[in-house]
């Protein structure tokens, strides 16, 4: 069984890399859409196609991209997670509180990420052994975790600085994670996103774990008959989502060292799900790639950046993001019906 699964994972990975499949893949359409959008903004604005703006776009999409990578695993497994914005807030603010309480950087980050993983595990347990639809389970956890963050902070802003008790060397390292630049050019947030996306691509495309995630999302019954623990794989997908949402929240606080539980991460889950679906992941499970997710994140980020450069109202921006979600889900459903 292990050999069959391993062979299946390698075959799937090699098939994805074939030229014919790449040309027929949904990612090709997403890439073309991104290219057309970039071409339009190049002529419609003065400052879009500059190195400064492009690096700024890279930084802006990084946190969304980190969470979208985790959502890719969840959607492929046939589930959905609406609690990512609350995890983002809870883990980031709890890490910040530990830092201003005098903790060293790595233990504080470890506690924040562990909190996200525990919340993700609870989501997974409720959605599998609890037999609750993941939409309902994570919607409930969205409110529970947001409430826990408000209780933890007493509804007050959390500001990480020397005056509040942070150690100088810890604050310096923490700030570098969010505000620093690799080689003085590349934003550190973008570096984190690239590393996480590369690791996720390897896991999803070249390992038995990735193959089993696809098997569970494609047909849970067939996966169970093949000896795959469906519940375990889904729980791990939620745990991974929780860890990445927590890391994104920590990086966000490192960039802007002040946050409030009632506002941080509000509505973020919509952008995360939109970017993942635009990139080709299916709400029905069994479909999605890291490359597609990256392209989806880029489309959302480039569109937001372009609308800002064009002076479009933030209210109109929200309207257009909503249209993107509807169109993306519609294309997913229509394409699946045509295939059937």
Rounded average pLDDT over 147-167: 91
Residue 336 pLDDT > 70 = no
- Show the tokens assigned to 235: 């729980």
Contact by Cβ (8 Å): 249, 67: no
Where in the chain are the domains?
2-339
Q: For 180-216, write each residue's pLDDT tens digit.
A: 988 888 899 999 999 999 999 999 989 999 999 999 9
pLDDT of residue 29: 74
Contact by Cβ (8 Å): 80, 325: no
Query: How far, CA to CA in Å, does 42 sit from each of 62, 79, 263, 308?
Result: 22, 38, 34, 14
Pairing of strands 186-187, 158-159: unpaired
pLDDT of residue 184: 84
Residue 217 pLDDT > 50 = yes
Concatenated DSSP letters of 29-64: HHHHHHHHHHHHHHHH-SSTTSHHHHHHHHHHHHHH
Taking the C-alpha atoms of residue 90 and residue 123, their distance in angstroms, rounded to an integer, is 15
Mean pLDDT of the chain: 86
2-339 carries CATH number 1.25.40: no
Query: How far, CA to CA in Å, does 51 sit from each of 12, 117, 217, 299, 310?
Result: 36, 36, 40, 18, 18
pLDDT of residue 214: 93
Taking the C-alpha atoms of residue 152 and residue 92, their distance in angstroms, rounded to an integer, is 12
With H, G, I as helix, E, B as strand and everything else as coil, classify residue 310: coil
Residue 20 pLDDT > 60 = no
Rounded average pLDDT over 125-150: 94
Predicted confidence band of residue 317 (pLDDT cuts 50, 70, 90): confident
User: Greater confidence, 47 or 238?
Assistant: 238
Q: For 35-61, write each residue's pLDDT tens digit.
A: 888 888 888 888 888 888 888 888 989
- Show the tokens assigned to 139: 């919607």
DSSP 79: -
Least confident of 102-116, 255-269, 307-321: 307-321
User: Greater confidence, 322 or 292?
Assistant: 292
Residue 118 pLDDT > 70 = yes
pTM: 0.87
Contacts 24+ apart (CB under 8 A), 259-263: 259/89, 259/92, 259/93, 259/96, 259/157, 259/158, 260/153, 260/155, 260/156, 260/157, 260/158, 261/89, 261/90, 261/93, 261/146, 261/149, 261/150, 261/152, 261/153, 261/155, 261/158, 262/146, 262/150, 262/155
pLDDT of residue 283: 82
- Show the tokens assigned to 11: 């075959």
Taking the C-alpha atoms of residue 166 and residue 172, their distance in angstroms, rounded to an integer, is 10
Rounded average pLDDT over 226-248: 94
Residue 57, Cβ neighbours under 10 Å: how many?
A: 19
Taking the C-alpha atoms of residue 78 and residue 214, their distance in angstroms, rounded to an integer, is 9
Query: Interhelix angle for 51-76 vs 208-218, to 10°?
Result: 60
């Amino acid at each position: 069984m292990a050999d069959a699964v391993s062979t299946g994972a390698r075959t799937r990975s090699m098939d994805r890399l074939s030229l014919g499949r790449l040309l027929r893949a949904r990612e090709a359409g997403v890439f073309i859409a991104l290219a057309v959008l970039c071409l339009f903004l190049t002529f419609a604005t003065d400052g879009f196609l500059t190195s400064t703006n492009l690096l700024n776009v890279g930084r802006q999409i990084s946190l969304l991209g980190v969470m979208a990578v985790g959502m890719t695993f969840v959607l492929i497994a046939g589930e959905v997670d609406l609690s990512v914005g609350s995890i983002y807030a809870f883990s980031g603010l709890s890490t910040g509180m530990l830092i201003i309480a005098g903790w060293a950087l790595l233990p504080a980050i470890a506690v924040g990420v562990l909190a996200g993983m525990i919340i993700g595990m609870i989501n997974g347990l409720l959605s599998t052994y609890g037999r609750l639809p993941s939409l309902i389970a994570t919607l409930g956890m969205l409110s529970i975790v947001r409430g826990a963050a408000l209780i933890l902070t007493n509804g007050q802003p959390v500001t990480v600085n020397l005056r509040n008790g942070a150690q100088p060397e810890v604050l310096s390292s923490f700030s570098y994670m969010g505000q620093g630049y690799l080689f003085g050019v590349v934003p550190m947030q973008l570096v984190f996103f690239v590393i996480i996306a590369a690791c996720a691509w390897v896991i999803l495309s070249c390992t038995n774990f990735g193959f089993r995630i696809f098997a569970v999302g494609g047909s849970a019954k067939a996966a169970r008959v093949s000896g795959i623990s469906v519940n375990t794989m889904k729980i791990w997908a939620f745990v991974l989502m929780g860890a990445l949402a927590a890391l994104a929240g920590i990086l966000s606080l490192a960039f802007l060292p002040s946050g409030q539980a009632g506002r941080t991460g509000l509505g973020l889950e919509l952008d995360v799900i939109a970017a993942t679906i635009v990139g080709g992941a299916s709400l029905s499970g069994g479909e999605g790639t890291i490359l597609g997710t990256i392209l989806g994140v880029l489309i959302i980020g480039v569109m937001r950046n372009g609308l800002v450069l064009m002076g479009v109202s933030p209210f109109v921006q929200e309207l257009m993001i909503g249209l993107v979600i509807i169109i993306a889900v519609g294309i997913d459903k229509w394409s699946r019906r045509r295939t059937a």
